[in-house]
Structure 1
Amino acid sequence: MNEENNLEQPQETLGQALKKRREEAGMSLEQLASALKLSVLQLQRLENDEHELLGPITFVRGYIKSYCRELKIDTQAILALLPEQVEPAKKSKMQSFSRRTEKEANDNRLMLFSYFILAVIIGSSVFWWWQNSSPALEEQTATIMPSQLETSELAPAAEQLSSETEQLNAQPATSSVPPESENAQPATNDANVVEAKKPIEEQSNLDPEHSTVVMHFNEDSWVEIHDGNGDRIAFGVKKAGYVMTVTGPQPFNVVLGKHQVVDITFQGEAVDTSHFAKNRLAKFTLPLSE
């Protein structure tokens, strides 16, 4: 009967033997894990005989020896309970995981290289645009509005011509004047012309509706001018030696491409533009604000 009872009782496994010795020693899994520098999960798998989840057989034997050494039990007796063949689980999945990791690493390198190429292209485009934007602005040409510019430039000459014509038409009425009077007549006419010009200049100086700006271009330069009504009265590139006169209500909004090569007078007084930065567009208002 005793032999039959012994046969019916199952043999104690390695995990059961370890757990029994640990409980007899009064040590918890957390305490033993801290002493062995292992995780609680690893000790639980060892006590549950889940050896295939702990890695290669060499690792399993090392865990068992450390366990026995800490609890001071017979190592050889415990190792005798270890199954002969213990293979790590899901070996094929580990291989596939390594392949996936390698593929992800290759994809990451390819993505970084693509970002680098894109950054180089964007940087080159920005640099090219920055280099060409300034010359393009200075070389821009446009047609000046003929009706506005010609009227503003020719208006003073037309007024002078009409005044001289009226004086010449009035001259034949003095045909009976002696020779000395006839000789003196041209001087009188010249004096009348000078006197006729002065009121025009004085009127332009006093009346803000007829302010005058004169620009002498020593070199080619781009210019744009808007008068006080917001009308554009000058626009485009002026050649070297060109003298431009514009008239209109002030203030004038002026933009010059090369202000250092242009001499400017406003209402007969010189305008100082030396304080503007060179090699840049000069934007200012006439009369200049203090």
Structure 2
Amino acid sequence: MPNRSEPAVITPALLRDWALPVPVGGKETRGTVLVVGGSRVTPGAVLLAGVAALRAGAGVLQLAAAESTAAALSIQVPEALVVGLPETPDGAVAGADAERLDELVAEADVVAVGPGLHGIDETRALLHRVLAATGARTCLVLDAYALGALSHEPELLADAARPVVLTPNLTEARHLLGRDPGDDLDAEAAGLADRYRAVVSLYGHIASPDGRRWREESGDAGLGTSGSGDVRAGLLAGLMSRGAGPEQAACWAAYAHAVSGQRLVPRYGRIGFLARELLGEIPQVLATV
């Protein structure tokens, strides 16, 4: 494990010494992932995150998205339970009216909030609802608009004993920091982890609130494509669902995300692959570490 001064580079050797749990038995032993997101105009983000969770080993997948998208999502992801949530006139999920979400959140092992959400005020109301419904052992992954909502209320996670992972891009990191990130993303990730008392995965720079840090160095420009972050958030949620701790899941997810992109380069070039094409590479990467 890394010390508190220098981040450890994530390598196959490091991951082999930090092997993922291998659940036995039925799908229930691999946990339930609930992905909450998907406004009317961005339902694909929930699809990408949800399928990534399954590819990472989650046993049960549930998707909660804007009601107008639910039927299409249920056809596109037949493996998932899909629940439509009330939406505003512009297609955002109406967080204050999403009572149906409470029971789903209470029963999930991991809840990923953010992919495809729209509207900061609606997302804040949704995040409050999710936090109120989670149990002490429920794992949370906050991504995209959920991070924007958190930046408006940094104290939301202050007293949360539950495992939480934040997955910001640079724009979201700017909101969380209240300023532009500097060049030292290791330090910025560590600062965010300390401020929000959560594990942070920032472009392959991973930090724990206890001061430990890791860095994934395999990522390339091709990962900077629409939907790639949704895949990473779902991958992380799936690993936590099967029993990985938040730091372990963040490190494995960063590596699997990066190497899945590397595997696509011979077919599509460095910047020609799509986020959806990462999904098919994930199981092989995880299996061959």
TM range (shorter): under 0.3
Q: Which has the larger radius of gyration?
A: 1
Higher helix proportion: 1
